Amino acid sequence: MSTSKAMSLRFRDPEQQAAIVAAARQAGVSIQDYILSAAYARATAVEDSFLKAFKDSMDRSGHAFAAEPSTADPAPEQRAAEQQARREMEPGERGHAA
């Protein structure tokens, strides 16, 4: 059994096949290499688009947190008051109920 390295290419549209064959010839590569290169370029473009959108989203999130630091990081006075209130409410430090 021989193993072929060529891809099995079938085109439903003869005009599409002719266009791909002509483009591959113009590029000086085989049809398989031309199609694989195009698929790789498309996948890379999709990846780049995703990464750009992700970076933009992270930038927006960073700006949102930077815009209102008081909600994300309370002032030291507020933090101390919250800790004091928590200590006062802990059941182990209160006297016994009558």
The secondary structure of 14-45 as a DSSP string is: HHHHHHHHHHHHHHTS-HHHHHHHHHHHHHHH
CA dist 62 and 98 (Å) reads 52
Q: In the chain, what is the greatest distance between 2 CA atoms, to the nearest angstrom?
A: 96
The predicted pLDDT at position 92 comes to 61
CA dist 54 and 78 (Å) reads 34
Average confidence (pLDDT) over 67-83: 72
Residue count of the chain: 98
pLDDT in tens, 17-73: 899 999 999 999 999 999 999 999 999 999 999 999 999 888 888 776 665 655 556
pTM over 0.85: no
The listed range with the strongest mean pLDDT (51-55, 74-78, 80-84, 90-94) is 51-55
